[in-house]
Amino acid sequence: MPDHNQNEEAGLSARLAGILTAVIEYHVATGKPVGSRFLCQNFDFKVSASTVRSELARLEAMGFLTHPHTSAGRLPTDKGYRFYVDTSAREKRKRRAANDPGPGQLEGEIEDVLRRSAEILARTTGLLALVSAPSQDNTAIRHVEVLQLHPEMVVVVIITASGGVAKKLVIFEDVVDPGLVNWVRSYLNEAVLGLELGSRRLMLRLEDAGLSTVEQTFLAAVSSAFADAAVGARGLYVDGASSFFSRLEADGSSAVRSMMELLDRQDEIVKLLGAAISERQVYLRIGREMPAVAMRGCSLVAANYGVAHRNLGTVGVLGPTRMDYPEVIGSVEYTASTLSRLVEEIYN
């Protein structure tokens, strides 16, 4: 049932809140406007049909519902959805989150796990699933491998505590001494393990004045791999685009074209998810609450995953404002929780 204190804060009686909830849930399920006749036939509000019509008019006047010109029924507004999510959807979200089997045991490389998480979340919700990978610039270095592939070619592999892997191929003009390769591998694993990518301490360790000129020159060449790893874009895994655009088109949304363009600019999606990285609870933006005008026909549900006292990445679902919020929120929360358990194991 809706929270009565929050109903009162929104200026809604229990009856108004119940009618609004009924309108929203039926509209989400069918996509159709909801009229007073339908409500009276399918719900027992213990009042007359004229009272229900009056209450619908009140909800419209208060901005919770809108009245399409082509129909006698009402549709929820962004304000209506926001009230529903903050009150009526709360308990339903908890129940669904607890019962949702979720992605189950996700094992393997972190990249594969994130990709699978996006696939499962898209399949579960039928919407666009977004999963951002842990940023590399503030992640500790766990291991460095330097391998000589050819006489003039060396590959540097940097493995971070979050499970990320960065690789760089370094080509030299002359044949590389294998002993120098073995030396730099040992040196790096002694000097930089535990330091964060992008940190000043790391840069100082890579500029050791006590080394010989040959060692300094070789170290400088392979150290470019650390700079590349630090400035590399946060990885993003996206799935469910086809279902997402089908839903937008079915709802007659004007956001289809702008959202297609957005998917071609993944840095903007990463920025969008980045707005949620400091949140402790579910990050939810509905319609006009979205930061960009082009996205205001959609809603975003997101939650962070990570380790104790530190968020590493974000799980999100982007869809039309007409979505099953309890189901989507529960699925996003469960996926984020599962990923948190996984990265906790990796960090430990």
Q: Which pLDDT tens digit goes with each residue over 53-62?
A: 999 999 999 9
Residue 88: which of 187, 154, 4, 147 has the closest Cα?
Answer: 4
CATH 1.10.10.10 intervals, the chain: 4-86
Average pLDDT score over residue span 115-144? 86
The angle, 0 to 180 degrees and rounded to 10, between the axes of the packed helices 266-274 and 256-263 is 100
Give the predicted TM-score (pTM) of the model. Answer: 0.70
pLDDT given for residue 226 in this prediction: 85
Residues spanned by CATH 3.30.450.40 within the chain?
103-134+234-347
pLDDT in tens, 257-314: 778 777 777 777 877 887 887 787 899 999 999 887 878 889 999 999 988 777 888 9
Which pLDDT belongs to residue 123? 93
| Percent of the chain with pLDDT strictly greater than 90 | 46
Neighbouring CB atoms inside 10 A of 265's CB total: 10
Q: Say whether pLDDT at 170 is over 80.
A: yes
pLDDT for position 345:
77
Mean pLDDT of 186-204: 87
Domain 103-134+234-347 fold: Beta-Lactamase (3.30.450)
pLDDT digits (tens, 9 = 90+) for 318-344: 999 999 999 999 999 999 999 988 877
pLDDT at 93: 67
CATH 3.30.390 domain residues, the chain: 141-231
Fold of 4-86: Arc Repressor Mutant, subunit A (1.10.10)
**What is the CATH number assigned to the segment(s) 141-231?**
3.30.390
pLDDT of residue 105: 47
Reported confidence tier of residue 100, pLDDT bands at 50, 70, 90: low
